[in-house]
Structures are given as C-alpha cells and as structure tokens.
Structure 1
C-alpha cells in the first residue's frame, strides 16, 4: 500500500477558482440504443469485475431469439413449454466491445435472486419449477470458456421472488420467496435449516401478496433493514431477533412485488462524525391494483417516496412527492451520490398485461438537496420498459437498460407493448461534454485495498482542481431484477492529503472503509468525483 500523510496542501486551494458542487446545467441526459436485439429480454442483470454483464430471462416460455452455440440443445422434461430447446436464455455482454455471446442455463431462473461473492463469482438462487431450489454460479473469465454451473436442489426450500444480500463475513442471506416466510444462508453447513421470519407471514396480503422481493439493506451496525408490503424492521440475523419494529410507511400502501416500488440505502459517508443510514422507498401501486387490473381497471400508481433515518432514536418516515407516479421503476445510486429512477408504468401494476401508460422519462433524486429541489426530470426514452425490465450502473457512469416483456411468451405483434429484446444506455447529465474541464480521470490506484488502510489515488483534471468538492466513492454493483437492485451500496471514503504530481495530475490519500459491515468484502467500482462530476471507475478488491 502507498503511504501518505494527512496534510492538505493549501497552495492548491489558492490556485483554483471556487466550483459549485451543483454544476448541472439544463442537460437532461441522453438515451442511446446499443443493440436492437440481444436475443433475450433482460429480466435479470449483473455487472462483473471483468466489465462484462450477465443477463438472463426464463427458460419456460418457449424459444428465445438467439441460438445456443455449436448446435447445442437443452433437454428438460420438466419444462412447461419446450422440452427440447436449442435457444439460449442467458447472454454475456461485453461493455467495451458492445458484443454479446449466448450462455447455457438449464434450470428455470424465472424471478430469481443473486449476489456476488468476495472472489467475484455470481451466486444466483432459485426461480420457478425445476429451478426453484437451484443454485447457479458464474465465475468471470478472460476468454469465452466460462459458463453457468448449476446445482439443482441445493437450496433448502423454494425461492421464487426471494431477495439476496451479501453479508460482512462473505456469506449470502436469502430471504423469502412466494409462500416462504423464512430465510437461509449460502453456503450452507451440514446443520443448516430454514429460519422463520414472522414479518413475511404478517405482511402477506390475501390475493395480492405484496411482500415478494422484500427490500433488504445491510446497515453499518451489521443488522438488516427488511421492508415488506408497508412494514419494516431492523433485524439481527445472527440472533434471529427483531431489534426494532419501524413505523408503517404513512400512506399504508404496499411497495413490494406485485405493487413493485423500489428502494435504496443512501450513500454511507465516512467523512461524517457519525455514520448515518437512510433508506428511501419510492413508487409502487395502491392496494388491490393487481385484482383491479385483471378486471380491466388500471389505477394510477403511487407518486410518493418515503425516507427514514434508522439511526434516529425514534425513526419516522418523511414523505416526498415524485414528479411522476411510477410502479416498476428501478432506483440506482449514481457515482456522485444522486439516485436515478427510470423504467416502469403510471397505471396498473406488475404482472402479465397489467401495466399501462409507460413512464419513459428518467428522474434524478438528489438526497442532499433541499426537499423542494431534490427531483429533476430527465430525458425520455423512445422505448417503454415495463414488466421484466432491468437496469444497472456500469463502469464509465452510464446506465445499461434492457428487457420489458409483459407477456407469457415473447410477443412482437398485435399487442400494445411488444416484447423488447434491445439493450440501451442512459447517460446522466454528468457525462455531458460541457463538464470536461472538471472531469477527473483516474491514472492509478491499488487493485487491492484493506479495511481502514491508507492508499492513494492518482488522477488528472484537465483545467483546475478544487479540493473542497472532491470525493472518492466505492460502489457495489447490483444484481437487478423486478425493480430492486440487490446488494447495491455506496461508500464515500475518508480523504487525506492532496498533492500535485504534474501540471494537471494529483494524488489524493484515501482511507479504506472502516468495517465489513459498511462495505462487505469483494469487488467495487472506485470513482473520483470532482464538482459532482465522476470519473470512469477502476475496479478494486476490498479484502
């Protein structure tokens, strides 16, 4: 590790003009089509540390639009649609090359969950039918040799619409699933069993459910925040004990699948004297929306966000109004700490044929702004992204968006919202060319960093640097499906001294996250952010 002293070189500050941390102009971001078809509808996505993105759909709806390589076929007597299938239901997308190749997945991963282990292996759990107890792993490689490995019946019970969270010790907790009011761990031990979670039983609505894909966030104290339907708890998974029951979200409207809002843990700032954990839950559909939509009545989705600081002695939700009501919206933390909300519908709910009025405009939520200035409406996409769409942040700060298939099978004609096999990108305003003068570029950083250890990041800024609006952030890439980005988190790391290495090149001292509860071990995207404008990221391994 590089050593440094915690001295700020004041001379830098005298040489630089003051730059506002709120540098965005009227730029609304930009949409661009990357691939008209990748052969599948990207229901699930995960960015891997070799800058490739694994995407997959389901196996039980019939043929996809991409063949398996080398004349391979998949034979599955349990498949409900096509027992002999020569098409792929998963692809690996190369960000740098804008290319993709088919992968082989055997058991049905429909509506499943995932997390990345500290070594970079994607662990993917559950699904439907013959996949509901399956464990699948994918280990990144530098050639075309890697593919899925599967262990059918590894899980202790069915995991369909469950949620995964990576833990400080590198294990994964798998919570819930349809009619499964319990959790389990990966890897399992010889004495492993499912563990009852009463919150899930209590929050199951008759008919609608609305507690599937519960929102899970690992808190800095090591406990879990778990949100299901309208209720949330702070949970000690080590003791199987509820630490605190939080108030119901004030409007008493459901936020989880099939109402399908979204949620993020706001960035954790280690520069603050006390590390606060705030959670935001946005959107969803009013209670009963699913049954109403099934009868042809599509009601307006929810236009509110609830925000809660779980560190307060008596935590309470603060409600905010979004500019656009939305269900099935994805919430992603951007490298500068803003939250992007995109995809979804303004009427109806999740499910086949149950959504109307696509919401094509993205919205940025700025947590640190005054309440009346937090939301900004961004550019509109030309492509609706409804049920079974997904989105992830990628290395250069763009957001990859794919999927949308509100039908039982692929359907491209005679429907309001055809199945979408395309892949697009959204470039947030910070990528606009007008910010090139202050945009940092990482020159070098240690590939491996440790907890509480000091290291340095060398970076260049084309014209001038203002230390007062400089930060270094770690972002954990998410496993995104059904409007929830599992395992997503950001840590703003503590900074030390800055020194000039050359005319436009600097070195900043940084301290690694102080504990695994703040950032579990594994691969992270490291960004340098200057005047609210992020660099492209470098991969680092926290261990």
Structure 2
C-alpha cells in the first residue's frame, strides 16, 4: 500500500505554498521598496552629495500653486513666476491671471496682481533692473473639427486723412451678399496720409502740386455671426462696416480674402509692462506695434530690447516685422525685417550681431526660418551657419552662450522634430564665433535624445542640464529623470544627482544667487505610459544643490562690502574672506526663461587682483559683451567653489564733458 499524507501535512504544505506564492507575487513591490530605501540612504550620504549634489522639494502652500510658464530672477534676489491664464481656458474666460513672487532666502511667497494674460509672453532684463514683459494671449486656439463659425483676419481700411477710427469689439462687417461677421477685439485704424505728387508738362516745366490720399490699415479677427457653412468664403471682397453713415461709411471698410473653418491658432496681444522689483508691481508702458504670442525679447548693448516673432492678432506667425523697445522713452519703434519661427533663441554677440542658433519653440513652417545664422541688425544681413547635425530637430532644443562669454562659443543641446514629432536627438554642437568662417561642430552627446532640456550656467564655468522628455510633451511617460554637468574646456558630460520631478513642456530652470538651481513647471499631455489619462500641470518646486556647496564651508569664499555699481571698463574693490583662495571672478546675468528659451543668461570673466582682505575686479568695457544691467558677482576658488553672489549694477561710463582749449574752441 502506497504512502498517503495526513490531512495536517496537507494543510501545512498548502499554507507553505501559499506563503511562497504570496512572496513571489509581491516580490517586485518588496524589491522596489527595498531599492527605494537604499536609494534614499545612498543619496543622503555626504560622500554621494559631494560627488553628485542633491535635490530638495520646497514646501509650496496650495494658495500659491500656479502654472508657472515663465521664471525670471530679479535683482532683489526674488524669483518672478508668471502663469497668466496658465494654459487654462477656464482661467482665460474668467479673466483670472496669476503671478507669484518667491523669495528663496526664506521660501516665502507673495501673490502679484496681474493685469493681463501674460501666458506665452516674452521678457527681458532692462538696464535699471526692471523686467520688460510684452505680449501674451488674446484668444485661445480652436482645434480642427471644433470650429463652428467661419473666421479669419479682416483688414480694416480708413481713407479719411482727418481722423483715426476706433471700432469696438463686436463691430459687424457685412459682405456684398449680406453675410455678417463680428469683430472679436477693439481695433483702431489710423487716419490716412496725404502724399504730394509732382507732375511735369510737355516742356518739362513743373506743374502745380497734387495730393494723393493713401488709406491707413489695421487688422482684426472676425467670426461669422451665424454658425455653419454660410460664412465660408474664399473670394476677396469688400465689407461694409454696419452702423457707419455718411463720410465714415465711405471712408471705412473691411477687406478679406478667405474666411474659413480651419483650426484657429492662439492670438497675441500688443500690451507691454515693466515689472518693478522694488514696488513689486506691473507698470504699463506703450504697447507694441504688433501683437505677439510666443515672442523672444533680446536685450541689446545700448539698453534697448528687440522683440522678434510671435503669433499676431489673427493667429499668424508675425511675417518678419520686428521692433525695438527703448526703456528711456517707454516706446516702440520699427526694427529690421526678418522672419523667425516662434521663441527663436537669439544671443547678443561681441560686436553687436545677434546669433540665431536655430532653437525655437514651435510655430512656423518646417522649411522657413529654421537655419541658424548671424544677423547684422545695422545692415539687416543674415549669414547662415552650416555644420549642425540633425538640423531637422532644433525645435524645443536648448541653447547657451558658453562660459566665459569672452570665448564667444555658443552651444545647442538636444531638440526634436517640428510639431508633435516623436523625434528627439542627443546631439550637441558648438559654434566658435571667433573663427574667420564659423561653423557648428558636433560635441559630446547627451545620454539620450531629449526635448525641453533645461541648461543653466554655473559660477564654476560648467553648464548644468536637467529634465526634458524623449517625446513630445512627455508623451508615453518619457520624462527623463536625469541631470548632468557639461564642462566646455574638456567637452565632457558628468552625471549629477537625479531629480524627483519630471520636467517637459512649459518648464524652467535658473541659477539662484546662493549657487543653487531652481526648477519649475511642466505641462505633460498625458499622465500614463499608454497615453490614456490626461496630464496635470506640475506645481512642485524643486531645487538642486550642486556638489560645490557640500565642500568644507569653512573654506568657501565670501565677498564683503563693496560698491553696488560699476561702470563698463571700471574697477571695484570688495572685502573678501579667504581672499588668498579666490582664483576667478564672474559676472552672471540673471535669467528670464520660458519654453526652454533663455537668451539672458551669460557669464563674463572679470580681471582679478587680490590683497590680504580684499579683491579688486575689472569689468570689460565692451557693452556687447556686458550689456548694461544688474548682475550677480561670484568669486570662486581653485576647485570652483563659489561665494554667495553680490548684486552689482553695470552702467555705461559717463561721457566726458567737452573741454575748452586755450584758443576758445571746445574739444
């Protein structure tokens, strides 16, 4: 008779099997928990932090959680975080616009009244330390299939030389066939101009003057009053302005060539403001000549700002009309004509030309305005630069003027294909503008293909890169939780500690005066790998502490008392603790960043002399190298350990008064 196990043995065996099965089923979770505990232990060790640095989340009260689209460091040391409507149609419809001021010294926050929708505006640091904010959102996009009323741009003409005409939002334009269209915004049409004409008789004698009236023109977006196909038209026509009578009815009319039900893009505004860091408020200035959404604002050597590109008031890419802002007059003037896709990366180079790296943030055709080049604003000549690998993957790439600025080398990092392309490149490339015939040359590759990479200059002459995603807007859970340092002198990437928070579209990073790096935002399309759940805007604020801040604090350089202002070409002396250890001095311009575009940041090498208790720094005299404005002054030791920054304002040297010579002439 064979062996037959007892009931008790069977129970014991089944219990043990169930336990084994339970352990097997939960093994991944147990292993993940153990790995997480070990990772937390490892990154908390001082030896790890000295090599890789560390990340930390900032406690952000719920009332201050906004969709941070823009980040700018002010000379007060505080960070301005601008959301506007925050890519939220409901906020836009309610007129709820947001700005938060964060003080990194004590992690306090303050709400700032926001007068207009600065979502997707442009910004630039002005010489006096105010922040110019221009453009933003006039209307949200309506996607294909959702457009129920035909719409498009209406050119409004005024043939009266006697007066301008203001037509309020809601003005009705009637076609010859009786179809009516309604304006979505106020529009002011200037008065017409009179031009004198000279004519000559048969004998060549000059005849009496004649005048010719040239109609003035403005543009406004209109929609059909009725839903449906009745408003569609592809025929050019003249439109009556309903409600005008007499001469006004004859002098003022609309012209439109095509009113369709195609996708309607975002539309920009003309508004411009200066943010006052001391009063902590927005101050209105004259509006731009063109409405702009997604524009780049780049500061120039003379203190003016050039506004470039953007979507206009009918949702088209501005065709090449650029304009200057003068902070002395608070007014705008016509600039040189050149077409760029939206948010182009433009850097002021030594000598005054602007370098366009090809980096941009999206709107515009694939085959127009994408090639990098040097742009001479005085002659309006654009010299294209060759050599860039993966030139079809410059959208959402990152660009930086490598440190120190005197080297005149500019780097492009990563990027993706145009629009919602899945392409992403690990390519980096550098152009040396001191060469007789500068071209881009490939440099060390990133660990993987990446879009929306944040790149931040550090006081030790390295570039800190972090975040981004491998696909469009983090699609497919493709956020890259990695960071690394790039060292220009050795052309190498070195790993840094990994961030907790993923960052893709609508994310920012910037250098703080204490040497840390702050990261904000992220606007993923989806929240899961299968792209089935809609994403949510990332509100967490995470700060990176580099390895140089984990070295011996007793040996860290420190700057003491010194002047708040230095003239170009001038010197300034500061008290210094452990002055004998100081090896380098840098002026670092504070960031104003959005959509991976930060054309403000630059690191300028200073002349340096040391005494027992002080350092004297010398600022270059060239304003194309050091545009006037506020800078962070860092000093570093031989290991690259930086001091906490001192804020200094760089001014133009005062012009010498004319001197009277012995013979009475002024010289």
| TM bracket (short chain) | 0.7 to 0.9
User: Secondary structure in 1 aligned to 2:52?
Assistant: coil
Q: 2:617 aligned with 1:510, yes or no?
A: yes
- Alpha-carbon distance in 2 for matches of 1:106, 1:245: 40
CA gap of 1:486–1:383, structure 2 versus 1, over 3 A, is same
The alpha-carbon deviation at position 437 of structure 1 amounts to 4.6
Q: What residue is the counterpart of 1:539 in the other structure? A: 647
Residue 323 (structure 1) aligned with residue 447 (structure 2): yes
Structure having the higher Rg: 2
1:159-198 pair list within 5 angstroms: 159-178=292-311, 179-180=317-318, 181-187=320-326, 192-198=333-339
How big is the shift at 1:483?
0.9
Shift of 1:217: 0.8
Deviation of 1:59 after TM superposition, in Å, equals: 1.5
Q: How far apart are residue 239 of structure 1 and its match? A: 2.9
Say which SS state the counterpart of residue 231 (structure 1) adopts. Answer: coil
* Cα distance change, pair 82–446 in 1 and its aligned pair in 2 (3 A): closer
Taking the aligned partners of 1:93 and 1:510, their CA distance within structure 2 comes to 31
Q: Which has the higher helix share?
A: 2
Tell me, which stretches of 5 or more residues in structure 2 are unaligned?
1-47, 140-267, 312-316, 360-369, 652-667
SS at the partner of 1:228? Answer: coil
Task: Write the distance in 1 (CA, Å) between the matches of 2:563 and 2:332.
Answer: 40
Match of 1:387 among 505, 508, 512: 505
Deviation at 1:125, TM superposition (A): 1.1
> RMSD of aligned C-alpha atoms?
2.7
Q: Contact (CA 8 Å) 1:451, 1:514: kept in 2 or not?
A: yes
Please list, as runs of the form range in 1=range in 2, the aligned pairs for 1:337-376 lying within 5 A after superposition. 337-346=461-470, 348-350=471-473, 354=475, 356-369=477-490, 371=491, 374-376=492-494
- Given that 2:306 and 2:323 are in contact with CA atoms closer than 8 Å, whether structure 1 keeps it comes out as yes
Matches within 5 A, 1:48-447: 48-59=74-85, 61-62=87-88, 82-85=92-95, 88-129=97-138, 132-141=269-278, 146-150=280-284, 154-178=287-311, 179-180=317-318, 181-187=320-326, 192-198=333-339, 200=340, 211-228=341-358, 230-242=370-382, 244-255=383-394, 259-268=395-404, 275-285=406-416, 287-288=417-418, 290-292=419-421, 298-299=422-423, 301-320=424-443, 321-346=445-470, 348-350=471-473, 354=475, 356-369=477-490, 371=491, 374-406=492-524, 415=533, 417-432=535-550, 434-447=551-564
Provide the C-alpha distance between the structure 1 equivalents of 2:587 and 2:92, rounded to a whole number of angstroms: 43
Partner of 2:205: none
Query: 1:361-409: per-residue Cα shift (whole Å, max 9, x none)?
Result: 111101112x3xx101111111111211111111101111111123599
CA distance in 2: counterparts of 1:212 and 1:364, whole angstroms: 28
Distance in 2 between residues matched to 1:354 and 1:25, nearest whole Å: 31
Structure 1 residue 483 corresponds to structure 2 residue 596: yes
Q: CA deviation at 1:88?
A: 4.9
Go from structure 1 to structure 2 and tell me whether the alpha carbon gap of 1:25 and 1:82 turns closer, same or farther (over 3 Å shift): closer
Helix, strand or coil: the match of 1:27? helix
Contact kept? 2:503, 2:522, Cα under 8 Å = yes
Q: Name the CA distance, whole Å, in 1 between partners of 2:124 and 2:558.
A: 29
Shift of residue 41, structure 1, vs aligned partner: 1.9
State how far apart, in whole Å, the 1-side matches of 2:568 and 2:330 are.
27
Counterpart-to-counterpart distance in 1, 2:477 and 2:434: 38
Deviation at 1:190, TM superposition (A): 7.7
C-alpha deviations, 1:178-211, integer Å up to 9, x for none? 311232111379893353204x3xxxxxxxxxx3
- CA offsets per residue over residues 199-235 of structure 1, 9 Å max, x none? x3xxxxxxxxxx3211111111111111336522211
Q: Which moved more, 1:228-237 or 1:420-429?
A: 228-237
The yes-or-no answer on 1:453 pairing with 2:570 is: yes
Q: Is the contact between residue 83 and residue 97 of structure 2 (CA under 8 Å) also seen in structure 1? A: no
d(CA) in 2 for partners of 1:118, 1:81: 33
Return the alpha-carbon distance in structure 1 between the equivalents of residues 626 and 641 of structure 2.
23
Q: Return the alpha-carbon distance in structure 2 between the equivalents of residues 35 and 284 of structure 1.
A: 32
Instruction: Report SS of the residue matched to 2:543.
Output: strand
Which segments of 5 or more consecutive residues in structure 1 lack a partner in the other structure? Answer: 1-23, 63-78, 201-210, 270-274, 293-297, 501-505
Specify the SS of the correspondent of 1:357: coil
Instruction: Return the alpha-carbon distance in structure 1 between the equivalents of residues 381 and 300 of structure 2.
Output: 16
The whole-number CA distance in structure 2 between the counterparts of 1:47 and 1:355 is: 33
Are 2:591 and 2:598, in contact at CA under 8 Å, matched by a contact in 1?
Answer: yes
TM, length-normalised to structure 2: 0.64
Count the aligned residue pairs.
Answer: 452
CA–CA distance in 1 between the matches of 2:466 and 2:454? 5
Distance verdict in 2 for CA 1:357–1:212, change over 3 Å: same
Q: Which residue is equivalent to 1:204?
A: none
SS, match of residue 430 in structure 1: helix
